[in-house]
């Protein structure tokens, strides 16, 4: 069993899921819980999203408790009193998600730091998610918004709209330990924010992207990028990911890298790399190698340098070229 969780979520008036909140998602499942799921939730193998009544959830909580699954029982017991919809998601394998609850479970696994970016199958995910109005009152179907807005106004209230988007912000579902996030609207559910990460005002982390930890992020971490420990992105910088079929190419920055202000990087980097402020590097960028004495070597595509450590990328104002210096080679 790949993953298991019970969640509660919103639906529109047509009964379609808008989002699901999983308070305690888990990788794997114990044998006893699996047997109870088969017996009581009619789980019949494979990947299933099973909707539950409150009564059924209460009974399931009792069984979990009897089976000694105390921690899980406590969560399910609380969920059982939800006035919202309840769903159990059982994923036998990490295959392509097929519905909204599956997608949300996978996004929770990332943001709960149970899996890392690029480790799980999210293919076709965005196509499964409806466009939702995210508000101070939760997820609202875009067609139901006008009536909700009117009803709120009539009693002197407002529904504060945060965004209109397929994905919500992470912090309204889970705030992982030991992070600072200056503006929660800029970190999406499905971001992996490692311990010790400081996301400043201008920082941004997309889903299936993130940081291992201990870095200051003032730039954009795009889908598919995982940034190593101690690496910092300066203000206005960006990692740029390429779309391949229905998903994104996978990239990484190693540890202790520094991406300068307004730089844009579309390749992987090893450890201790530096990209000078304002520089833009894609896989096809031509890069001139130079040595410590500023002697020019051969010219290569940036893609050939991807993932190598101790590189300093800089702009040569006289040749107008991108130069790369291997900081380990001193002569």
List of residues contacting a second copy (CB under 8 A): 8, 10, 21, 23, 78-79, 81-84, 131, 133, 136-138, 142, 145-146, 149-151, 153-166, 169, 171-175, 177, 179-186, 201, 204, 220, 235-236, 238, 261-262, 264, 277, 280, 317, 320
Closer Cβ to a second copy, 40 or 78, answer by number: 78
Shortest distance in whole angstroms from residue 329 CB to a second copy: 25
Closer Cβ to a second copy, 1 or 171, answer by number: 171
- The tokens for 135 are 């508000």
Shortest distance in whole angstroms from residue 121 CB to a second copy: 25
DSSP secondary-structure letter at 130?
P
Rounded to the nearest 5 percent, the helix, strand and coil shares of the chain are 20, 35, 45
Shortest distance in whole angstroms from residue 175 CB to a second copy: 6
- The tokens for 117 are 């970016």
Shortest distance in whole angstroms from residue 129 CB to a second copy: 12
Closer Cβ to a second copy, 158 or 296, answer by number: 158
Burial class (CB in 10 A: 0-12, 13-18, 19+), 155: exposed
Phi-psi region of 46 (alpha: psi -120 to 50; beta: other; left: phi over 0): left
Closer Cβ to a second copy, 179 or 209, answer by number: 179
Shortest distance in whole angstroms from residue 262 CB to a second copy: 7
- The tokens for 213 are 């930890």
The answer to whether 48 and 29 are in contact (CB under 8 A) is no
Closer Cβ to a second copy, 169 or 231, answer by number: 169
Integer Cα distance of 37 and 43 in angstroms = 6
* Helix 70-79, helix 54-66: angle, nearest 10: 170
């Amino acid at each position: 069993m790949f993953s298991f969780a019970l969640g509660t979520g919103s639906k529109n008036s047509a009964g379609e899921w808008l989002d699901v909140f999983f308070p305690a998602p888990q990788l794997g499942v114990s044998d006893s819980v699996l047997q109870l799921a088969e017996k009581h939730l009619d789980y019949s193998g494979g990947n299933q999203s099973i909707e539950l009544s409150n009564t059924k959830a209460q009974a399931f909580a009792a069984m979990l408790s009897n089976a000694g699954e105390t921690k899980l029982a406590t969560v399910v017991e609380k969920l059982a009193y939800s006035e919202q919809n309840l769903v159990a998601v059982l994923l036998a394998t990490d295959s392509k998600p097929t519905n909204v609850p599956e997608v949300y479970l996978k996004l929770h696994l990332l943001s709960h730091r149970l899996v890392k970016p690029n480790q799980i199958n999210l293919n076709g995910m965005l196509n499964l998610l409806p466009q939702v109005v995210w508000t101070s009152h939760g997820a609202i179907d875009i067609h139901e918004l006008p009536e909700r807005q009117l009803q709120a106004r009539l009693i002197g209230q407002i529904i504060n709209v945060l965004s209109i988007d397929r994905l919500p912000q992470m912090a309204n579902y889970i705030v992982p330990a030991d992070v600072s996030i200056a503006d929660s609207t800029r970190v999406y559910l499905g971001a992996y924010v490692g311990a010790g990460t400081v996301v400043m005002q201008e920082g941004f982390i997309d889903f299936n992207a993130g940081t291992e930890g201990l870095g200051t992020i003032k730039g954009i971490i795009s889908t598919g990028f995982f940034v190593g420990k101690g690496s910092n992105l300066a203000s206005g910088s960006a990692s740029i990911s390429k779309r391949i079929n229905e998903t994104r190419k996978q990239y990484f920055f190693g540890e202790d890298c520094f991406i300068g202000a307004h730089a844009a990087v579309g390749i992987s980097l090893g450890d201790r790399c530096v990209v000078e402020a304002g520089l833009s590097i894609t896989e096809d960028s031509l890069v001139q190698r130079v040595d410590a004495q500023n002697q020019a070597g051969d010219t290569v595509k940036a893609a050939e340098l991807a993932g190598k450590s101790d590189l300093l990328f800089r702009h040569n104002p006289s040749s107008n070229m991108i130069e790369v210096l291997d900081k380990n080679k001193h002569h």
